Structure 1
Amino acid sequence: MKFAISYSTPYYGVDPDKIIAYARHAEDHGFEALYLPEHIALYPGATLGSWEIPPSLPYADPLDTLSFVAAATRRILLGTGVLLLPYHHPVVLAKRLATIDVLSKGRMRLLTVGLGTLPGEARAVGVDFSTRGRRTDEAIDVLRLLWSGGEEGVSFGGEFFSFDNLCSFPKPYESTHLPIHVGGSSRAAARRAGRRGDGYFPGGALGPAERAAQLDLARSTAVAAGRSPEVLEYTRWGSIDMTGERVEALAAEGVTRIVVSTSASEPDEQRDEMSAFAERFGLGDRHPR
Structure 2
Amino acid sequence: MKFGINYAPAHHGTDPRRLLTYARLAEEHGFESLYLPEHIVLHPGAAIGPMPLPTATPYFDPLDALSFVAAATERILLGTAVLLLPYHHPVLLAKRLATIDVLSGGRMRLLTVGLGSLPGQAQAVDVDFASRGRRADEAIDALRLLWEGGEDGVDFDGEFFRFERLSSFPKPLAARHLPIHVGGSTRAAARRAGRRGDGYFPGGALSPDERATQLELAREAAREAGRDPGALEYTRWGSIDLSVERAEALAAEGVTRVVVNASTAEPELLREELGAFAWRFGLTR
TM-score normalised according to structure 2 size: 0.99
Shift of 1:174: 1.4
Count of residues in Structure 1 that have an aligned counterpart in Structure 2:
285
What SS does the aligned partner of 1:163 have? strand
- Displacement of 1:80 in angstroms is 0.3
Partner of 1:118 in structure 2?
Answer: 118
Distance 1:17 1:65 in 2: 12
Q: Which residue of 2 aligns with 1:283?
A: 283
1:165-198 deviation line (CA, Å, top 9, x unaligned): 0000000011221000000000000000000000
Shift of 1:82: 0.3
Amino acid at match of 2:116: G
Match of 1:234?
Answer: 234
Percent of paired sites with the same residue: 71
Secondary structure of the structure 1 residue equivalent to 2:116: coil
Q: Deviations over 1:124-154 (max 9, x none)?
A: 0110000000000000000000000001100
Which position in structure 2 is the counterpart of 1:56?
Answer: 56
Q: Could you list the per-position Cα deviations for residues 4-46 of structure 1 after superposition, in whole angstroms to 9, with x for gaps in the alignment?
A: 1011111111111111111011001100000000000001111
**Bigger CA drift: 46-55 or 129-138?**
46-55
Aligned to 2:71: 71
In structure 2, the partner of 1:260 is: 260
Whole-angstrom distance in 2 between the partners of 1:35 and 1:89: 21
Distance 2:258 2:69 in 1: 21
SS for the counterpart of 1:146 is helix
1:186-231 C-alpha deviation (Å, 9 max, x unpaired): 0000000000000000000000000000000000110001001011
Which residue of 2 is the match for residue 215 of structure 1?
Answer: 215
SS in 2 for 1:260: strand
| Alpha-carbon distance in 1 for matches of 2:54, 2:147 | 37
Cα deviation for residue 108 of structure 1 reads 0.1
User: Paired residue for 2:183?
Assistant: 183
**Match in the other structure for 1:200:** 200
Q: Does the 8 Å contact 2:194/2:220 carry over to 1?
A: yes
**How far is 1:264 from its partner?**
2.3
1:51-108 deviation line (CA, Å, top 9, x unaligned): 2111111100000000000000000000000000000000000000000000001000
- Structure 2 match to 1:99: 99
- Asked if 1 retains the 8 angstrom alpha-carbon contact of 2:151 and 2:167, the reply is yes
CA-CA distance at 1:262 after TM superposition: 0.7
1:20 corresponds in structure 2 to 20
- Equivalent pair of 2:22/2:265 in contact (CA under 8 Å): no
| Deviation >4 Å, runs of 4+ | none
Determine the C-alpha separation between the residues in 1 that align with 2:26 and 2:200: 23
